[in-house]
Amino acid sequence: MHMPFTLPKLEYSYNSLEPVIDAKTMEIHHTKHHQVYIDKLNEALSKHPELEKQSVEQLLADINKIPEDIRTAVRNHGGGHLNHSLFWQILTPDAKAKEVKGKMIDEITKTFGSINKFKEQFNTAALGRFGSGWAWLVFNKGKLEITSTANQDSPLMEGKVPLLGVDVWEHAYYLKWQSNRKGYMENIWSVINWKKVNELFEQARKK
């Protein structure tokens, strides 16, 4: 079987985001959870090999054009692959990449009032997402927005470009934070890769 999608490497070690995200959670999340999304996406696409040339972004942006027999699998597992691929990139232990600066920050300040107000609103979205899902900062029709999605749904399915996504499935935080999603959300800001988020913003603006 041809395997179009493979697990991306992390740019940092599993223990390097401690104490915010513990090493065991990072390892299981990356090598088990993310790998399963990829395996099941590949399995689904093997039934329609003509789709294997498409990027996961293309597959999700046109989700209603995906053959019905694999549409739910592509939505869940393609979404899982795309969302996690982004998540690993917008986290970092690197002090330089964590600096809160760039055009993106100006735009956040303009849109939400201040970076702290932005974080508050983002966390409200994350805590308000019942069950499993994601909180997002997205670029939509020239503007920044905070939103959340259920399960592994991607904002791309609604034509919104994800810039920053935080996984609020329990598997993302349960070993360290147990049911304390609030603690996880309050602390995750100290490992956000603003350099990467800024790059994604610059790319989205040019489109």
Q: Tell me which residues touch Mn ion (CB under 5 A).
A: 167, 169, 172
Identify the CA nearest to 1 among candidates 37, 36, 39, 31. 39
Cβ-proximal residue to Mn ion, closest one: 167
User: Which residue's CB is nearer to Mn ion, number 102 or number 183?
Assistant: 183
Round to whole Å and give the CA distance between 130 and 114: 26
Rounded to 5, what percent of the chain is helix, strand, coil?
Answer: 60, 10, 30
The least distance separating Mn ion from the CB of residue 80, rounded to whole angstroms, comes to 7
Q: Which amino acid is at 109?
A: T
Ramachandran assignment for 159, one of left (phi > 0), alpha (psi -120 to 50 degrees), beta (any other)? left
Closer Cβ to Mn ion, 46 or 132, answer by number: 132
Kindly state the smallest distance separating residue 55's Cβ from Mn ion, in Å: 20
Residue closer to Mn ion by CB (options 36, 100) is: 36
Confirm if 167 and 86 have CB atoms less than 8 A apart.
no
Closest separation in Å from C-beta 58 to Mn ion = 22
Shortest gap between Cβ of 152 and Mn ion (angstroms)? 8
User: In terms of CB distance, is 28 or 61 closer to Mn ion?
Assistant: 28
